[in-house]
Every structure is written in C-alpha cells, then in structure tokens.
Structure 1
Amino acid sequence: MHARVVATTAVAVLGIAAVLLSPTSDARAGGADEPTVIGHRGAAAYAPENTLPSIDKAAQLGITWVENDVQRTKDGELVVIHDDSLKRTTNVAQVFPDRAPWKVKDFTAAEIARLDAGSWYSPAYAGTRVPTLAQYMRRIEHNHEKLLLEIKNPELYPGIEQQTLKLLGNEGWLDPGHLERLIVQSFSADSIRTVHELKPAVTTALLGSPKVAQLPRYARYTDLINPSYGSLSLGYVAAVHTVDGPHGRRLGVFAWTVNDAATARALADRGVDGIISNKPDMVRAALRSD
C-alpha cells in the first residue's frame, strides 16, 4: 500500500513538472528571447504539407516545432490532412472520379492510403501518402520534434477529441516527458474545452482572435490564443498576456501564417510567443538577425 502511494505521488509530481515546463511557462515559449518558430504543416514551402517528408524537411532545417491537422476517415482512422476534401492535395479525383466532392469522412483509411499526396506539389514527391496520425506521431518521435496538433472540423467527427487523446496516450505522448512537447489546438472552443476536461495536463490553444472581454472565459480551459497575424496589434498581445490560463501561467500567443521576414520581426516586437510559418527557417533567420 505504501509503495502504491509513493508511486502515485511520484507520477503526480512529474505531471506538475511537465506543466511547469510546458511551452507557455516562460515569457516567451520555450524560454527563449525570441518567439518559438513552428513549421506550418511541417515545412510546407519545401515539401507537400502534412506529410512525413514535410516534417522530415523541418527536422533537417533544425526546426523543433511543427504543426499539423487531424481528421477522421469513414471507418474511424485518424489521418493528417488539412482540407475536409481530399481533392486539393491528392489525386483522388483520378482514382475515384465518381465520388465528388471527395470528403475525407466518406473514404476508408485503405482507400486514402492508395492516394498520391505528393505529386500535386512536385514530381519529386510522387507516391507520398496521406499519413495516419499513428504513423505521423512515430515519425515525430523519431525526429525528436514537438507538435502543435490541430483538431480540424471537429463538428464533422463526433468524439474525435477522445479518440485523438487515446491515440496520443497509446503512442506515449501523454506521459510527463512528452506533455511539454505537445499542444492541442482548434478553432472550436467546445473542442478545446473537451480536451481540457478529458486531459487537464495537456496544453491547449484556441485558434482565432476572441474579444479581450471574452478572454477570462476561454482561459478556464485554454493556454494560448493563436490568431492570424493580420489581426494582431501590440495592445491585443499585451491584453492576452494579462490573463492567466488554466495552469496558472499567462496566456501565450502564437501567430499564423507568417512567410516574410519583415512581418516576423514586427510580430516579435509586438511580443508574440510563437510564429507559425511555411518557411520556418526564414522566420528563424529573420528573428536572429533583428
């Protein structure tokens, strides 16, 4: 009995430590003097978005954080893809010409696994596949990367929050050592609230620019506010930073999607904690040359 109590206490302490070390625990995410740089859909300017080659490219560039999008197939498999339709980033219209509008939710995992998700970007990536979330997480782990995971279109996939967390747990990503490498975000406040209620130790982020007066309400279950860069002012970032989130630290701000040096430097001057970019190496270089 005593051993069980000691073990339980140790796990609790490790969980608290992971929260304290999480990406928003310092004045700037990761504790750096400059904003954290996050590769958008991997390194989407250099490889087909949301694919294994894209996160491999980010790793080659020395980019620690990457972002992705998660949706669900007809037969319940979680896959990494941005659009709710397969048309833009795969050859689905050629493989399945009679099944327009080619929604992800209307295809099985086996059918999606047949699709080419690289040729649209470049012939060099012909044969690249839409990864399952399990495949993606294993490559992230192999690359020693950190993940900003977006639950995409949760209204189309009831229960996707529970399913995503279960998969993350099965892959070892809900242990204390991984929690500091993971943020779950969504445009849906309800989805983020569900994630927080199911796994309070997970760092969460709300996409968008809620009104300042609404921030205390969202701060009950989200750690970051992640707006489009065009909507950000110095005053808005400062206002977000005055509000404490569910883990007792100030809310952070990650801005998206920034692909030029001048904007990156301007956002850093406004105090953002992270910058999401298709060209994360360019953003990193711009911040370091400022």
Structure 2
Amino acid sequence: MSMRRAVAAATGVLLGMSVLTLTASPAQAAPRQDTKSNKSPVTVAHRGASGYAPENTLAAVSKADKLGFDWVENDVQRTKDGELVVMHDTTLSRTTNAESLYPKRSPWKVSDFTAKEISRLDAGSWFSDDYAGEKVPTLEQYLRHITKSGQKLLLELKAPELYPGVEAQTLRELRSEGWLDSSHLKSKLVIQSFNANSVRTTHVLNSGVKTGFLGNPKVSELDSYAQFTDQINPTHSTVTKDYVKAVHARKGPLGKQMQVFTWTVNDASTARTVDKAGVDGIISNFPDVVRDATGG
C-alpha cells in the first residue's frame, strides 16, 4: 500500500489541532488467561514478553504466546520513507546495532532511516546472544504474526506529534490486514497514546475503535476525556482505589464503562496492590509474574 497517500489523507484532519502531551520469577508455561470468566485484571505482555525476549520483536510476541497470553502491547513509529515499524524509542541506538552499522548517522532517529535500512539492523543481540539477528518488524509483519497466533493488540502510537497523519495511516494498515472488522473491534484491539489529541483523532477517524489515554488526568477532567477515550491508563504509582472508581463511574465513547489499564508492573507485590485498587488490566514485562500474583 502507499503509506505516503495515507499520510497526505490525514493531514487535513490534523491541521489546526495542537499537541497535548502530557524481581521476576522464571518464565513458566501456563494455560491462557480466560478473561471472560475471570474477574482478575487482564494481563498484557508489555512490548511482548519483554522481560524474556527483546522488546517489540516477533520473538517477544511468540514468548508471550508460549506463556499463554493473548494480549500484547507494542509501539508504532514511521520511517523516513513512510513505513510503519514497531519500535519504542524514537532513536534506534538502545535496542539495535544502528550505531555500529551506521556510525555517521547520529542521533539515529527512526524517522531518519528508510524501512530497508532498518530491516538490516540486529534488534536482538543487545538483549541476549540467543536472539542475535532478530529484526525490527514492520507493523504489517507484526499484525500478520499475531493474526496467526490469535493474539490481541494494545497498540501505542509512539510520539505521534513527530509523524503527522500517523493515526489515519495506522488505521489504514489495520484495515488492510483485517483488523478493523467487527470481531477485532469488539474484543481484540485498543489504540492508545500519551498524546490526547492523537487519541481524539483516532476516535474521530474511526469511532468504532476502542481507545486509551496514557496518563492520569484529574478527576475533574475525566468527563472531557470520556468523549474520546474508553480507557485511562496511568502508571502504577498513581493508581488509587478512589481514582479507579472515578474512572469506572463514567462511560467512554463506545457507551461502556471506562476502564483502567496500568503500567508497567513487574513484581507480585505491586500487582496485588493495583489489583486491590480495582484496575481492569495490568501491563507487564513479566506477565506470568502478574498472572500468578493476581490469580489470573
């Protein structure tokens, strides 16, 4: 598909909008979490099972699958030539060998490299020699992988203010891969961001998509957020029972009770604490630790 056409199509939507930014146990195989019959929080594998495999790679997604987790979280950014890739940092240096492969390309921004250049990078050796040669996946590759495994996706638009039109482009990619049909929209997809305008834009472009805002707005602001987001997803250190109750007292744009998914919880004690506060989901690098602690 033509990514540049998708970007151009979304530019008009975004014009005039200001940017509003606001120790683990060994991995063990376990049955999948049945979130329909289980009242415990949904456990989401953060950047895949990133405590056990290099983050945001297909290997991390596969590890989450082997551990029995349906929900995985990822981060989406755009390359110089308009392709969507799965990468957390806005630079490539921390999780790839970009500095050694392209020594004269400092500061190694994702947006300064083409998709072909990024495809040459090793995104696994920094984590472990066992993952040497693991690649940075495109969003297309990522979606096809989790479609085969039957997993679900909490997709984060990372630093969308750097990539005008990325909301429409991401939705177009999701549609192309079959991820905007009724079954995915009902229970398999959430799009979130730290950028409230980006979440709002996503909702405006496709009101059927479940959305999440990463942060903790004041209780007095929750009514305005409820106009365009279905989840409020704060860091675990800000979660209280009263705050969760305030979020639950409101309905999101899809007409259902707003939810709270908190991040990034990597130990049993914190998992139990946020569980008692009433959160609906817990995002973790070590999802098995969270599942064991919360009874999922």
Structure-1-length-normalised TM-score: 0.89
Distance 2:277 2:293 in 1: 15
User: What is the RMSD of the two structures over their aligned residues, measured on CA atoms?
Assistant: 1.2
Task: Name the CA distance, whole Å, in 2 between partners of 1:286 and 1:126.
Answer: 32
Deviations 1:81-140 (A, max 9, x none): 000000000000000001100000000000000000000000000000000000000001
- Per the alignment, in what secondary structure is the counterpart of residue 276 of structure 1? strand
Question: Residue 142 of structure 1 aligns with which residue?
Answer: 148
| Structure 1 equivalent of residue 198 of structure 2 | 191
CA distance in 1 between counterparts of 2:37 and 2:191 reads 19
Alpha-carbon separation, structure 1, partners of 2:233 and 2:266: 16
Q: Say whether residues 1:64 and 2:70 are aligned partners.
A: yes
Instruction: State the partner residue of 2:169.
Output: 163
- Residues 101-116 of structure 1 aligned to structure 2 (within 5 Å): 101-116=107-122
Q: CA deviation at 1:177?
A: 1.4
Indicate yes or no: 2:264 matched with 1:231: no
| Alpha-carbon distance, 1:178 to partner | 1.3
Q: Distance in 2 between matches of 1:168 and 1:270?
A: 33
User: Do the aligned partners of residues 122 and 147 (structure 1) sit closer, same or farther apart at CA in structure 2, a change above 3 Å counting?
Assistant: same
Partner of 2:18: none
How far apart, CA to CA, are the structure 2 residues paired with 1:54 and 1:98? 30
In 1: Cα distance, 2:192 partner to 2:255 partner: 19
Find the aligned partners of 2:153 and 2:254 in 1 and give their Cα distance: 19
Q: Is the 8 A contact 1:196 1:204 kept in 2?
A: yes
CA–CA separation in structure 2 for the residues paired with 1:244 and 1:162: 25
Kindly report structure 1 stretches of 4+ aligned residues shifted beyond 6 Å. Answer: none
Report the counterpart of residue 288 of structure 1 in structure 2. 295
Which of residues 182, 195, 209 is equivalent to 2:216?
Answer: 209
1:158 and 1:31, CA in 2 relative to 1: closer, same or farther beyond 3 A? farther
Q: Which amino acid aligns with 1:205?
A: G
Give me the whole-angstrom Cα distance separating, in 1, the residues matched to 2:295 and 2:179. Answer: 31
Tell me, in whole angstroms, the C-alpha distance in 2 between the residues paired with 1:83 and 1:44.
14
Task: State the 1:29 CA deviation.
Answer: 6.8
Tell me how far apart the structure 2 counterparts of residues 124 and 54 of structure 1 sit (CA, whole Å).
Answer: 12
Deviation at 1:195, TM superposition (A): 0.6
2:28 maps to which residue? Answer: none
Question: Residues 1-290 of structure 1 correspond to what in structure 2 (within 5 A)?
Answer: 30=36, 32-179=38-185, 180-288=187-295
User: One-letter code of the match for 1:231?
Assistant: T
Residue 204 of structure 2 aligns to a residue whose secondary structure is helix
Q: What is the distance in 1 between the residues matched to 2:252 and 2:44?
A: 21
Q: How many angstroms apart in 2 are the aligned matches of 1:216 and 1:167? A: 31
Partner deviation per Cα, 1:185-227 (whole Å, 9 max, x = no partner): 0001100111101110100000000001001001001000000
Give the letter for the 2:44 counterpart.
I
243-252 vs 167-176, which deviates more?
243-252
**Structure 2 portions without partners, runs of 5+:** 1-33
Letter in 1 for 2:248: H
- 1:278 and 1:169 map into 2 onto residues whose CA distance is 28
Q: Supply the distance in 2 between the matched residues of 1:199 and 1:128 (Cα, whole angstroms).
A: 33
Identical residues among aligned pairs (%): 58
Partners of 1:53 and 1:199 lie apart in 2 by 31
Alignment CA distance shift 1:217-1:31 (3 Å): farther
TM-aligned CA deviation for residue 32 of structure 1: 2.8
The answer as to whether partners of 1:30 and 1:36 remain within 8 angstroms in 2 is no
Alpha-carbon distance in structure 1 between the residues aligned to 2:144 and 2:201: 25
SS in 2 for 1:147: strand
Deviations 1:16-53 (A, max 9, x none): xxxxxxxxxxxx97563100000000000000000000
Letter in 1 for 2:141: Q
Distance 2:221 2:72 in 1: 28
Structure 1's unaligned 5+ residue stretches are 1-27
Q: Secondary structure at the match of 1:41?
A: coil
